[in-house]
Amino acid sequence: MSFSQDVWARNLDLYQATVNHPFNQELAAGTLDKDAFIHYVIQDAHYLLAYGRSLAVTGAKAYHPDDVIQFTEGAKGAIVVERSLHDGFMADFGISQAQFENTPLSMACHHYVSFLQATAWSETFPVVLAALLPCYWIYAQVGNDIVAKSAPNNPYQKWVDTYVSDEFQQAVEKVLQTIDKLAENADANTLEKMHAAYTRGAELEWLFWDSAYKRETWPHMIK
Ligand SMILES: Cc1ncc(CO)c(N)n1
Ligand SMILES: Cc1ncsc1CCO
């Protein structure tokens, strides 16, 4: 069994909980509270900048020149999507640049990007890639799952379209091929670390949506 088949099976319950999370179900139905989506978009812009930085470090650690290209282009792609959030959703939902800049990273976002950056800088390429994989793969899968259910004139349709696009889906396929090849040559200790990194990333994906759904703020900021 390939690493990707194995890791997907091991984390299936967590994936089901993610796709069935009310944030994603209401996003598909078009009924998601506008303020929950605004919370999400602001945090996701913070997230994508940090994710882009993690991808750039990953590119530097890659073994094969093709992978250097893939992950440095991925880093650029994350920033392109981050910028499109400002010109797209933030403009559409009336979020000003000042509101974005004055909103600190949520606990969930801070936790997730700290995990990604620490892993990117300190672990070996196969383990780093396993930490980065949930971001790619879970979004591609959630997009595929909810596109079929998406309501007509869904105000969140553009979000769904980003992740079901051929470009994004093909990028995910390439990452899966790369990680499966790495796993074939990995020793038992590396494989164990890869599984742990993937699961932690997948847990943080769930938490990121849950945090937006609850419009989480830091406890000391609650007025
Ligand atoms: C939190 C999060 N995970 C994954 C993606 C996919 O790029 C995203 N935009 N945000
Ligand atoms: C993972 C990811 N998310 C948005 S862009 C990007 C890199 C894909 O090219």
Tell me the per-residue pLDDT of 9-31, one tens digit each, with 9 for 90 and over. Answer: 999 999 999 999 999 999 999 99
pLDDT beyond 90 at 222: no
Q: Is 49 in the pocket of ligand 2 (CB under 6 A)?
A: no
Q: Please report which ligand is nearest the Cα atom of 169.
A: 2
Among 78, 102, 94, 110, which Cα is nearest to 37's? Answer: 94
What DSSP state is assigned to residue 94?
A: T
Name the residue ranges covered by the structural domains of the chain: 3-217
Distance 220 CA to ligand 1 centre (A): 27
Q: Which atom of ligand 1 is the closest one to the Cα of 208?
A: 1
The lowest-confidence range among 18-22, 52-56, 89-93 is 89-93
pLDDT (mean) for 76-80 = 97
Q: Is 204 in the pocket of ligand 1 (CB under 6 A)?
A: no
CB neighbourhood size of 195 (10 A): 18
- 100 — alpha (psi -120 to 50), left (phi > 0) or beta? alpha
Could you tell me how far CA 47 lies from the centroid of its own chain? 8
**Confidence at residue 33, expressed as pLDDT on a 0 to 100 scale:** 97
Q: Please report which ligand is nearest the Cα atom of 55.
A: 2
pLDDT beyond 90 at 221: no
Instruction: Please give the share of the chain, as a percent, with pLDDT higher than 90.
Output: 95
**Confidence at residue 124, expressed as pLDDT on a 0 to 100 scale:** 98
pLDDT beyond 80 at 34: yes
* CA separation for the pair 47, 42 (Å, rounded): 9
Helix (H) or strand (E) holding 179: helix 166-184
Each residue's pLDDT tens digit, 137-157: 999 999 999 998 999 999 999
Q: For the chain, state the CA radius of gyration.
A: 17
On whether the CB atoms of residues 185 and 3 are closer than 8 A, the answer is no
Each residue's pLDDT tens digit, 161-212: 999 999 999 999 999 999 999 999 999 999 999 999 999 999 999 999 999 9
Q: Is 171 in the pocket of ligand 2 (CB under 6 A)?
A: yes
Distance 110 CA to ligand 1 centre (A): 13
Among 89, 172, 166, 99, which Cα is nearest to 129's? Answer: 172
Q: Which atom of ligand 2 is the closest one to the Cα of 132?
A: 1
Q: Which atom of ligand 2 is the closest one to the Cα of 75?
A: 7
Q: Could you tell me the fold of the domain covering 3-217?
A: Heme Oxygenase; Chain A (1.20.910)
Instruction: Count the helices and strands in the chain (H runs, E runs).
Output: 12, 0
Q: Is 172 in the pocket of ligand 2 (CB under 6 A)?
A: no
Q: Retrieve residue 16's tokens.
A: 């089901």
Distance 78 CA to ligand 2 centre (A): 5
49-51-57 Cα angle (round to 5): 110
On whether the CB atoms of residues 95 and 41 are closer than 8 A, the answer is yes
What DSSP state is assigned to residue 105?
A: P
Residue whose structure tokens are 């609650």: 222
Q: Going by CA atoms, what residue is nearest to atom 2 of ligand 2? A: 78
Q: Which atom of ligand 2 is the closest one to the Cα of 80?
A: 5
